[in-house]
Amino acid sequence: MIILENEIAKIIVKRSSVRAFDNSKKIPKTKIMKILKAGTLAPSARNSQPWRFYVAISEEAKTKVCEAMAERNPWAKEANAIIVLLADKNFAVRPDEKKYYIDIGLCLENILLEAVNQGLGACACTAFDKELLTKALGLPEHLEAVVVVPLGYEAKGKKFAEMKRKYGEIVERRDHKDGTKKLEECIINLA
Ligand SMILES: Cc1cc2nc3c(=O)[nH]c(=O)nc-3n(C[C@H](O)[C@H](O)[C@H](O)COP(=O)(O)O)c2cc1C
């Protein structure tokens, strides 16, 4: 068995999608800023850095984002904050080929890992109505909403039980721990 041991690897192993939040505590803004900063340190094609962030913290802003969420993501409204990861197509390299999705994906992983480092949980979500979200946030044409990241303090104990009652089994999915493919299944060639 391969065991990952260094600090980054520990965070990679620890991360899994969190869908149940304890929103009774507020996230200090410094934590959010550190998470966003980690996002901006991702590599990008020709250093284009096409990522932009719409961060919903107020109830009003979170409600706007959640209006566009798919039915399978009702738990998102309990998040302490929601980061909408946008791509600025004016800065994207060859936007017609959608390669900027790779840049946004790398930014996303940095965000998810730094959230763990900050003691928070998060979940990447692409099940949302892009058109509706664009309208709700009043985004200009060059800003494309690519992924929505609800984040917050992971609900534990009674609070978790409450979330599960409200939103069902989805809030306790732990695919990263239970359903990860064997490394051997993923390697097509190693020579
Ligand atoms: C691009 C992308 C889109 C996703 N969209 C959703 C989503 O809309 N709703 C949801 O509950 N989870 C979503 N997920 C989370 C995945 O279901 C989750 O990452 C996967 O099951 C592996 O579990 P883990 O993150 O705990 O390792 C998404 C993940 C990615 C990378």
The domain segmentation of the chain, as residue ranges, is 16-177
Ligand 1 site, residue 116, Cβ cutoff 6 A: no
Give the fold, CATH level 3, of 16-177: NADH Oxidase (3.40.109)
17 lines ligand 1 (CB under 6 A): yes
How many A from CA of 67 to the centre of ligand 1?
A: 19
Give residue 181's pLDDT band: very low, low, confident or very high (50, 70, 90).
confident
Mean pLDDT of the residues in the chain: 94
16 in contact with ligand 1, CB cutoff 6 A: yes
- Reported as a single tens digit per residue, the pLDDT across 149-176 is 999 999 999 999 999 999 998 898 777 7
Residue 15 C-alpha to ligand 1 middle, in angstroms?
12
pTM > 0.75: yes
> Which residues, 6+ apart, have CB-to-CB distance to 99 below 8 Å?
45, 92, 93
Is residue 92 in contact with ligand 1, taking CB distance under 6 Å? no
- Cα–Cα dist 155/55, whole Å: 21
Q: Which of 12-16, 43-47, 113-117 has the lowest mean pLDDT?
A: 12-16
Q: Is 67 exposed, middle or buried (0-12, 13-18, 19+ CB in 10 A)?
A: middle
Q: Are 17 and 142 in contact (CB under 8 A)?
A: no
For residue 187, report the distance from its CA to the centre of ligand 1, in Å.
22
In sequence order, what E strands does 51-181 have? 51-56, 81-88, 121-122, 143-152
- For residue 178, what pLDDT is reported? 65
Our answer on whether the CB atom of 37 is closer than 6 Å to any ligand 1 atom is no
User: How far apart are alpha carbons 59 and 68 in whole angstroms?
Assistant: 15
- The number of the ligand 1 atom at minimal distance from the alpha carbon of 170 is 11
Angle value at C-alpha 59, between 118 and 112, nearest 5 degrees: 25
Q: Which residue has the tokens 């959608």?
A: 98
Nearest CA to ligand 1 atom 5: 125
